[in-house]
């Protein structure tokens, strides 16, 4: 016989997940930088000390790579029109058209991120004889950012232009700079640092201030040199509405041409060699890679926006369907079918137990105290080592039988109890569950309908004193019980919880008993019942108190098993998609719902959280806070509605915001782990939860709310 070698548990996927999330955050952050581009030449911050007078009082073209600054001015009647913040797909072509009509050349100081967005405009600028300079990659104030950021801004811009045009630029105009007299000491130091990488600073003699939109006449006046002097004129072709700039050019160019002015580039105006040099292959390749990265980041951001929109629409649609179905279910409960007979047929309660010493006495005692006429209790001890069977036997309660067997697992214990049961109606109960006196009676009443093959009860969390307990309590009430009402109405109930479920004995025998080939035997069994043609319904009045995990570790192990087992059951019953009747309702309603809301969306949740972090970094906080508060308020109303349906107090609602920050992340990481386990073919072992006995306290008094 071949020996089975177990594969190691998956671990590398967490590293890959972290790397993927960091990569996603990096790509989104790069997109945020590339798109968070402002415009204009106004002040960027608090007042700063002025630059040295020999610079601020000199010409607008500054060469600062030597020990002594060199400032150059344009000759008389020579105008170098310069345009900042482009290229812009709307305004740059219009400005180029005006310049071409009047045979004027200009210098365009482009923003690197916009170069990557509109490479065709940059190529047109060059093709029509104009000059290109750098205006940083994101329109950053180089006088206030760290040195590494300033160097990156210049390098990225140079690479972006090289990737598009095959040339490198040397001219640089700092964002938020203007005429020489307004140059500040931080800006001067930024220009000196940029000179180390071969950049020549360009300021202006005349600032048209068109970014303020003062009106066409004001722009023309501000851009007109005085007394026949030459000038570098600062205007804008991007960063906002530039319709006034285009109109002003239509007046300025012919007016100055009639006055004997000539329009040229900055380099030609000062008699310098061409400022644009042939780029090396490495620089061009870097520029191309940068453009692809920016394009990819933009697509990724669009995809995340789409994902977020789809998730939001699905979430709201789910809520609407849940509420509508819950209302229909409430009407059914309040108006039961007329003439429905009371069910009083004998019931056998089967309790599979493995090391349940902490709760088994309370469980059995609550069952024996049931207000039901004919009831037997069968405790199947599945090889316990803590004396579980001995505890039950010492109780000596009438109508209680104990069956001992070697440890074979919960499904085997249930099947042992099914074979030993005398009644035609069977109730399956976990060994840590406590019933109320009327639970069994309420649970089996739907069997008056001969089409009903199984019934789910209402499971409630007993140990809800701590924060984790309250979170699970809310999850049971909001998620599980709202879903069960919806499943009941849509006739596609995928799971009867192991804590409380009722079955016809004939149904269990017909489907082959409780299956043992998945870890979610309750889900697997319920799906088998539906596919056999029986209805499965929900009885909200049949309440069972169960002990939930009391630590994050125990919660992880329990939900990991649940999620993995549910996926096993979904795959096992995938052929229900094409079946008629009850099986088809499961396949076309229940299975897609489980796939979307229990697998697909939780898998996407880490990316959504990263997108939220990106929003904190690059989007207005007020919008994010309002959006988060709106979603939380919607969830709060849903929770309050669900609590009211279950006749629960509203006290735990205060834990909802914290549930979003901790519990939700644990749940989606469980899904990630489960999916990876399934994909690599590992078989998860049954993992039993340690019991504390808190459910037993319910026998002596009410649960803490």
Q: Which of 31, 84, 85, 329 is catalytic?
A: 84
Q: What secondary structure letter does DSSP report for 179?
A: B
Q: Is 105 a catalytic residue?
A: no
Beta bridge partners of 200: 171
Instruction: Report angle CA 666, 672, 673 to the nearest 5 degrees.
Output: 90
508: buried, middle or exposed (CB in 10 Å: 19+, 13-18, 0-12)?
buried
**What tokens were used for 587?**
């396949």
Contacts of 364 by beta carbon, 8 Å cutoff, 6+ apart: 351, 377, 379, 392, 395, 397, 400
Nearest to 316 by CA among 604, 635, 671, 644: 635
Nearest to 510 by CA among 376, 409, 375, 418: 418
Q: Is 236 a catalytic residue?
A: yes
Nearest to 487 by CA among 566, 580, 582, 561: 582
How far apart CA 537 and CA 559 sit, in angstroms, is 24
Whether omega before 266 lies within 30 degrees of 0, making that bond cis, reads no
Number of other residues whose CB lies within 10 A of the CB of residue 701: 7
How far apart CA 318 and CA 638 sit, in angstroms, is 11
Q: Which residues of 628-647 are buried (b: 16+ CB within 10 A; e: fewer)?
A: eeeeeeebbebbebbbebbe
What does the longest C-alpha to C-alpha distance in the chain come to?
Answer: 117
**Do 277 and 131 touch, CB atoms closer than 8 A?**
no
Nearest to 614 by CA among 34, 140, 207, 95: 34
Q: Which of 118, 130, 236, 473 is catalytic?
A: 236
Nearest to 72 by CA among 208, 195, 180, 183: 180
Catalytic residues: 84, 236
């Amino acid at each position: 016989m071949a020996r089975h070698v177990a594969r190691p548990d998956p671990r590398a996927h967490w590293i890959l997940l972290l790397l993927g999330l960091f990569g996603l955050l990096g790509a989104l952050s790069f997109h945020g930088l590339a798109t968070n581009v402002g415009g204009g030449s106004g002040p960027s911050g608090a007042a700063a000390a002025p630059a040295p007078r020999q610079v601020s009082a000199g010409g607008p073209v500054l060469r600062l790579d030597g020990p002594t600054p060199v400032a150059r001015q344009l000759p008389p009647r020579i105008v170098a029109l310069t345009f900042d913040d482009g290229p812009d797909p709307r305004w740059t072509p219009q400005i180029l058209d005006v310049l071409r009509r009047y045979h004027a050349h200009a210098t365009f100081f482009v923003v690197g991120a916009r170069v990557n967005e509109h490479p065709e405009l940059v190529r047109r600028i060059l093709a029509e004889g104009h000059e290109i300079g750098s205006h940083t990659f994101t329109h950053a104030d180089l006088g206030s950012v760290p040195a590494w950021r300033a160097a990156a801004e210049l390098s990225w811009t140079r690479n972006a232009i090289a990737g598009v045009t095959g040339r490198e630029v040397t001219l640089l105009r700092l964002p938020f700079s203007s005429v020489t007299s307004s140059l500040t000491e931080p800006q001067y130091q930024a220009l000196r640092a940029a000179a180390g990488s071969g950049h020549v600073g360009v300021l202006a003699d005349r600032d048209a201030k068109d970014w303020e939109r003062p009106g066409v006449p004001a722009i023309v006046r501000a851009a007109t040199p005085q007394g026949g002097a030459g000038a570098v004129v600062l205007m804008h072709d991007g960063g906002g509405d530039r319709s006034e700039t285009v109109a002003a050019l239509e007046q300025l160019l012919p007016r100055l041409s009639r006055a004997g002015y000539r329009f040229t580039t900055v380099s030609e105006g000062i008699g310098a060699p061409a400022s644009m040099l042939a780029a090396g292959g490495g620089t061009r390749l870097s520029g191309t890679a940068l453009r692809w990265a920016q394009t990819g980041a933009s697509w990724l951001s669009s995809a995340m926006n789409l994902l977020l929109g789809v998730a939001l629409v699905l979430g709201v649609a789910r809520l609407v369907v849940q509420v509508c179905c819950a209302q229909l279910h409430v009407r059914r409960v309040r108006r039961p079918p007329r003439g429905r007979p009371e069910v009083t047929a004998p019931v056998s309660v089967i309790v599979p137990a493995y090391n349940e010493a902490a709760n088994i006495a309370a469980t059995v005692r609550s069952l024996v105290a049931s207000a039901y006429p004919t009831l037997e209790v069968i405790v199947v001890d599945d090889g316990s080592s803590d004396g579980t069977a001995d505890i039950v036997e010492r109780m000596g309660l009438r109508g209680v039988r104990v069956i001992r067997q070697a440890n074979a697992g919960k499904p085997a214990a249930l099947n042992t109890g099914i074979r030993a049961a005398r009644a035609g109606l069977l109730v399956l109960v976990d060994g840590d569950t406590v019933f109320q006196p009327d639970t069994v009676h309420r649970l089996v009443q739907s069997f008056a309908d001969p089409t009903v093959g199984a019934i789910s009860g209402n499971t409630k969390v007993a140990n809800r004193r701590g924060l984790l307990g309250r979170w699970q309590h809310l999850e049971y009430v909001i998620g599980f019980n709202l879903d069960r009402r919806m499943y009941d109405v849509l006739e596609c109930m995928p799971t009867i919880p192991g804590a409380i479920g009722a079955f016809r004995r004939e149904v269990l025998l017909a489907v082959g008993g409780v299956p043992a080939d998945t870890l979610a035997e309750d889900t697997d069994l319920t799906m088998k019942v539906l596919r056999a043609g029986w209805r499965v319904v929900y009885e909200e009045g049949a309440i069972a108190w169960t002990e939930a995990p009391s630590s994050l570790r125990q919660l992880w192990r329990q939900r990991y098993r649940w999620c993995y087992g549910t996926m096993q059951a979904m795959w096992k019953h995938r052929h229900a998609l094409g079946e008629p009747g009850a099986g088809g309702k499961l396949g076309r309603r229940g299975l897609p719902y489980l796939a979307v809301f229990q697998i697909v969306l939780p898998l996407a949740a880490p990316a959504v959280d990263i997108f939220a972090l990106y929003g904190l970094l690059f989007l207005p906080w007020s919008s994010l806070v309002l959006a988060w508060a709106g979603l939380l308020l919607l969830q709060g109303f849903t929770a309050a509605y669900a609590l009211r349906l279950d006749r629960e107090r509203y006290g735990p609602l205060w834990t909802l915001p914290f549930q979003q920050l901790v519990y939700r992340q644990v749940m989606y990481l469980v899904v990630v782990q489960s999916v990876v386990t399934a994909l690599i073919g590992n078989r998860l072992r049954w993992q039993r939860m340690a019991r504390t006995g808190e459910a037993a306290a319910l026998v002596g008094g009410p649960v803490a709310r």
